[in-house]
Amino acid sequence: MIQAGYTPPTELTRVRNVALLGGLLFSALIVAGFFLDRAQFFHAYLVGFIFWAGITLGSLALLMLQHLTGGAWGVGLTQIYPWMNAAEMSQSPALQLKAAKYLNPSFFVTRAAIYFALWSVLALLLNWLSLKQDRTADSKCGKQMRLLSGPGLGIFVITVTFAAIDWVMSLDPSWSSTIFGLIFVASWTMSALAFTILVSAWLSQREPMHAVLRPSHFQDLGNLTLTLVMLWTYFAFSQYLIIWSGNLPEETTWYVARKHGGWGAIALAIAILQFAFPFLILLSRAAKSSGRKLALLALLILLMRALDVIWLIEPTFNREHFHLNWMDVVAPVAIGGLWLAAFAWQLQQRALMPINDPQLEQALHPAHGH
């Protein structure tokens, strides 16, 4: 019989307090940056927001994927967006047409509200059903979460695709790509999985999860990481190949801006350290089965994800050469500190394992299957 003693480790309190203190201190710095350089503040904030939104929403996708498959493995806008600036829009009839139909401030805000509403409803419903299952052991909860997760994943893919277009692709409103949103679907899910591995590896060194998280669990997480690394690479390379073969000036300018002035070296680093190196490491069964090694690789992937977000956003504003402002570092750290504090607090509110989940027995005894 499964025991219900999965109380979160007491060290989480220290993690929460350190993250909160760091988040508040860096938030004070970024507020000062707002008064020093308002445009740069919004650029940096967008980088931080996109990175941490990726982990948040990617986690929602992983949760729905686990419920759907039933596997045991997962138990200041005018200064940013040119189309909001009337003077800039008046110089381009093509942009005026886009703005009239899609890129206009009121519709932009409305779409964002719809995205957040849908994401919130999905997260709240899944959380409510999970809590209900823990309290009542009602077997219907698992079925309801599975039924919700199917259409939920479809909603996730559609909303993230449009959010990526709105929040990042429209930074350069004259450029478009039909694959851009899918790159974000894959990369945000990959970010969430890397964060999950880091948390799992940390918990595996402490009770009560030390006896629960076995090498087989990390191997499953490593296999899924390999899948997402290849999926992200497939989408990213497909976009580049289509634009390169078409060789149209209105399309190639986006990559030209990210090739010169040092940005090309950043792109090469991302290709090597977010694809080639993880791909080779994850081919090793021993590396995937080691929580410590997999956690180090997950940390590298998260760092590359942050660099990738910078590479996607910053060349729009710094086309001549690679340049990082201090706010580009402070803003993501400020958001991340507050985010991690909230995460640790939430983690302390309930048992670390879903004690009445019918998949738990299989998860605790991986010899029965994955």
**Model confidence over 79-97: pLDDT tens digits?**
455 555 555 555 666 556 5
The answer to whether residue 99 sits within a structural domain is no
Tell me: the pLDDT tens digits for 93-117?
Answer: 655 655 556 778 888 999 999 999 9
Tell me: the pLDDT tens digits for 47-76?
Answer: 999 999 999 999 999 989 888 876 555 544
The answer to whether residue 241 sits within a structural domain is yes
Measured on CA atoms in the order 119, 240, 271, 304, is the torsion positive or negative?
Answer: negative
Minimum mean pLDDT range among 59-63, 179-183, 284-288, 359-363: 359-363
pLDDT greater at residue 174 or residue 299: 299
pLDDT for 78 equals: 44
The answer to whether the bond into 366 is cis (omega within 30° of 0) is no
pLDDT for 353 equals: 67
Q: Which long-range contacts (CB under 8 A, 24 or more apart) does 13-20 make?
A: 13/344, 13/348, 15/340, 15/344, 16/340, 16/341, 16/344, 16/345, 16/348, 17/341, 19/336, 19/337, 19/338, 19/340, 19/341, 19/344, 20/337, 20/338, 20/341
pLDDT greater at residue 247 or residue 227: 227
Q: Smallest Cα–Cα separation from 178: which of 108, 112, 243? A: 243
Give the pLDDT mean for 243-259.
90
Split at pLDDT 50, 70, 90, the class of 340 is: very high
- Is it the case that residue 293 has pLDDT exceeding 60? yes
The answer to whether residue 161 sits within a structural domain is no
pLDDT for 211 equals: 72
Q: How many CB atoms lie within 10 A of CB 329?
A: 18
pLDDT greater at residue 213 or residue 337: 337
The answer to whether residue 349 sits within a structural domain is yes
Report how many domains make up the chain. 1
Q: Taking the CA of residue 288 as centre, how many other CA atoms within 13 Å lie in the half-sphere pointing to its CB?
A: 19
The answer to whether residue 306 sits within a structural domain is yes
pLDDT for 1 equals: 35
Split at pLDDT 50, 70, 90, the class of 243 is: very high
- Is it the case that residue 3 has pLDDT exceeding 60? no
Tell me: the pLDDT tens digits for 126-138?
Answer: 989 888 887 887 7
Give this prediction's pTM. 0.88
The answer to whether residue 249 sits within a structural domain is yes
Enclosing domain of residue 37: 17-81+177-362
CA 337 to CA 216: how far, in whole Å? 31
- Is it the case that residue 232 has pLDDT exceeding 90? yes
